[in-house]
């Protein structure tokens, strides 16, 4: 098992930078082993943690760092040896806070500060008036507001004294109420500081699933010291929890352009150095392993603690496995239900739009009049076809009828050519000719009257000396008789013409 763990180390060291390098389009991430620790062989044989310094009541083992043990009034801390050399970072902190009491104390702190803190300070085991970020996992409810355990970030420029009495609420940047004590699996915090945004995600340790992080908070415009030290500290009081840190994994974050421009040259120079350091470290580990085997020849055999489990442990493990599976299934179901609800809502909104007459046809204007899409039915197609046939037949009939009319018209025209007397008169002829005839008639009457008058005056001189023998009454009577004759003639002529038309 221990060999496998070493292989994991190796794989991590070799693959992580490679994997992260491939993803160069996004934020470039680089695992920073000098600012990290993790089991196995977290602490070396001499008790030291490579690249870290710890003190106070902290104890490092191969599996974890017990920053503060579950004894009264304990304080401890662990700090990186070197100052950071990157601007933005992400830290995965895997820890456990466990105690027998329903309430525990005091809590655990994650630090990123311009200077290293103490190992037995007053703020969760380290120094007050820090310059940078303190992220506190505060177990104990000092101000009795029933709001602990609580996770909160407190920024300090080095001039503020932590307000213990109020659990730092007056100074807190932001935070979230999360219980991190006595969880079946280690609790985890992911602290990201990138481009002045501070994000803290929290994993409550109820499952062993890596994806169950929840947002604790995100804060903008956070200005931390550009370079600093990472640290973890913890403290107990009258009540006491074990405060264990299992993993402290630091990744530096680099904006996409930065590494391409300047990072490669630096990394090429550093690469040889880092790989040499890593090689030395590996050799040291190997040597230690051999020494250990020589010193403890019996301990290679599987010991009952690591290889066998009691009935109770097995039962507990099975319960947690089952619970994790149930949790996974429930989460999956929840996701599916969410999808279904979303789909249903979309459908409902579409239906309501149709009912309101405001359906949106793709590419159409919103709020345009309803355009219900309906397909043509079979009987409608049949009806259209039969209508078309009817129209066709009717058109044929009309064509033949027009042909008939045409032939008739031609025969009429030929007949007319043969009988010029039976010409069709244009409209209006009768009235014009009638008026002309009436005018001629009147002129004739006038002439006759004047002739008669002259005859009369010549035959009987003095018989009608001055007065005309024709009176007005007589003249009108003549006129009327003449008009009647002309009208009669006209009617007779019309009748005759009509008869002539009927004949054809």
Min separation Cβ 367 and Ca ion, Å: 54
Rank residues 108 and 359 by Cβ distance to Ca ion and give the closer one: 108
Rank residues 147 and 313 by Cβ distance to Ca ion and give the closer one: 147
SS (H, E, C) 402-440: HHHHHHHHHHHHHHHHHCHHHCCCCCCHHHHHHHHHHHH
Min separation Cβ 166 and Ca ion, Å: 8
d(CA 324, CA 317): 10
Min separation Cβ 136 and Ca ion, Å: 8
Min separation Cβ 184 and Ca ion, Å: 24
d(CA 193, CA 200): 9
Min separation Cβ 231 and Ca ion, Å: 19
Sign of the four-CA dihedral 447, 452, 453, 459: positive
With CB under 5 A as the contact rule, the residue among 63, 128, 143, 163 that binds Ca ion is: 143
Min separation Cβ 92 and Ca ion, Å: 24
d(CA 78, CA 93): 13
Residue in 131, 135, 136 with CA at minimum distance from that of residue 224: 131
The yes or no reply on residue 167 touching Ca ion (CB under 5 A) is yes
d(CA 324, CA 332): 12
Residues across the chain: 504
User: Largest Cα–Cα distance of the chain, in whole Å?
Assistant: 191
The yes or no reply on residue 141 touching Ca ion (CB under 5 A) is yes
Cβ-based neighbour number of residue 468 at 10 Å: 12
Q: Which stretch binds Ca ion (CB under 5 A): 9-17, 135-143, 185-193, 231-239?
A: 135-143
Rank residues 125 and 228 by Cβ distance to Ca ion and give the closer one: 125
Whether residue 305 has a cis bond before it, omega within 30° of 0: no
The yes or no reply on residue 32 touching Ca ion (CB under 5 A) is no
Identify the three-state secondary structure at position 358. Answer: coil
d(CA 137, CA 176): 10
The yes or no reply on residue 163 touching Ca ion (CB under 5 A) is no
Instruction: Return the bridge partners of 98, or none.
Output: 242
Rank residues 109 and 246 by Cβ distance to Ca ion and give the closer one: 109
d(CA 35, CA 78): 11
Q: Which two tokens stand for residue 318?
A: 């099975």
Rank residues 141 and 277 by Cβ distance to Ca ion and give the closer one: 141
The yes or no reply on residue 145 touching Ca ion (CB under 5 A) is yes
With CB under 5 A as the contact rule, the residue among 52, 140, 162, 248 that binds Ca ion is: 140
Q: Which stretch binds Ca ion (CB under 5 A): 124-132, 147-155, 295-303, 417-425?
A: 147-155
Q: Which two tokens stand for residue 302?
A: 């599987």
Min separation Cβ 150 and Ca ion, Å: 6
Min separation Cβ 134 and Ca ion, Å: 13
The yes or no reply on residue 103 touching Ca ion (CB under 5 A) is no
State which of positions 389-418 bind Ca ion (CB under 5 A). none
Min separation Cβ 152 and Ca ion, Å: 10
Q: What angle do CA 53, 58, 59 make, to 5 degrees?
A: 90
The yes or no reply on residue 179 touching Ca ion (CB under 5 A) is no
Rank residues 147 and 323 by Cβ distance to Ca ion and give the closer one: 147
With CB under 5 A as the contact rule, the residue among 98, 115, 122, 142 that binds Ca ion is: 142
Q: What is the DSSP letter of 260?
A: I
Q: Which stretch binds Ca ion (CB under 5 A): 143-151, 191-199, 435-443, 485-493?
A: 143-151
| Half-sphere exposure of residue 113: CA atoms within 13 angstroms, side-chain side | 26
The yes or no reply on residue 241 touching Ca ion (CB under 5 A) is no
Residue nearest to Ca ion according to CB distances in the complex: 167
Q: Which stretch binds Ca ion (CB under 5 A): 166-174, 277-285, 397-405, 408-416?
A: 166-174
With CB under 5 A as the contact rule, the residue among 15, 23, 48, 147 that binds Ca ion is: 147
Q: What angle do CA 453, 454, 460 make, to 5 degrees?
A: 90
> Which spans of this chain sit near Ca ion (rule: CB under 5 A)?
138, 140-143, 145, 147-148, 167
């Amino acid at each position: 098992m221990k060999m496998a763990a070493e292989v994991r180390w190796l794989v991590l060291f070799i693959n992580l930078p490679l994997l992260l390098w491939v993803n160069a389009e996004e934020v470039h991430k680089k695992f920073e082993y000098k600012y990290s620790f993790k089991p196995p062989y977290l602490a070396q044989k001499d008790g030291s943690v490579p690249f870290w310094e710890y003190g106070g009541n902290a104890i490092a083992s191969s599996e974890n760092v017990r920053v503060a043990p579950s004894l009264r009034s304990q304080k401890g801390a662990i700090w990186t040896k070197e100052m950071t050399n990157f601007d933005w970072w992400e830290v995965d902190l895997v820890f456990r806070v466990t105690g027998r009491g329903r309430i525990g104390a005091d809590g655990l702190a994650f630090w990123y500060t311009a200077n290293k803190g103490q190992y037995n300070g007053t703020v969760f085991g380290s120094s007050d008036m820090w310059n940078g970020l303190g992220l506190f996992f505060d177990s104990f409810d000092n101000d009795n507001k029933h709001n602990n355990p609580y996770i909160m970030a407190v920024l300090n420029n080095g001039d503020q004294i932590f307000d213990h009495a109020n659990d730092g609420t007056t100074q807190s940047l932001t935070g979230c109420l999360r219980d991190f004590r006595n969880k079946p699996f280690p609790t985890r915090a992911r602290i990201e500081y990138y481009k002045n945004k501070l994000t803290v995600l929290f994993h409550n340790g109820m499952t062993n699933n890596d994806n169950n992080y929840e947002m604790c908070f995100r804060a903008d415009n956070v200005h931390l010291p550009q370079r600093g030290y990472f640290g973890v500290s913890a403290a107990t009081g009258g009540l006491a929890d074990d405060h264990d840190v299992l993993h402290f994994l630091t990744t530096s974050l680099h904006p996409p352009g930065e590494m391409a421009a300047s990072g490669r040259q630096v990394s090429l120079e550093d690469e040889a150095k880092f790989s040499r350091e890593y090689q030395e470290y590996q050799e040291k580990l190997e040597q230690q392993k051999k020494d250990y085997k020589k010193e403890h020849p019996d301990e290679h055999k599987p010991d009952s603690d690591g290889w066998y489990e009691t009935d109770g442990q097995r039962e507990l493990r099975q319960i947690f496995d089952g619970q994790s599976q149930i949790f996974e299934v429930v989460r999956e179901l929840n996701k599916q239900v969410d999808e279904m609800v979303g789909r249903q809502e979309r459908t409902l909104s579409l239906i309501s739009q149709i009912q309101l007459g405001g359906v949106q046809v793709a590419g159409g204007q919103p709020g345009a009049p309803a355009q219900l899409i309906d397909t043509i039915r079979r009987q409608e197609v049949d009806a259209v076809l039969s209508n078309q046939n009817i129209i066709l037949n009717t058109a044929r009939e009309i064509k033949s009828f027009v042909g008939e009319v045409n032939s008739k018209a031609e025969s009429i025209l030929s007949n007319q050519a043969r009988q010029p007397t039976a010409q069709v008169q244009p409209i209006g002829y009768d009235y014009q000719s009638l008026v002309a005839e009436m005018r001629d008639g009147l002129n004739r009457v006038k002439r006759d009257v004047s002739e008669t008058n002259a005859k009369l005056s010549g035959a009987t001189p003095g018989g009608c000396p001055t007065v005309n023998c024709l009176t007005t009454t007589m003249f009108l009577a003549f006129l009327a008789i003449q008009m009647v004759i002309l009208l009669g003639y006209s009617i007779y002529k019309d009748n005759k013409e009509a008869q002539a038309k009927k004949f054809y």
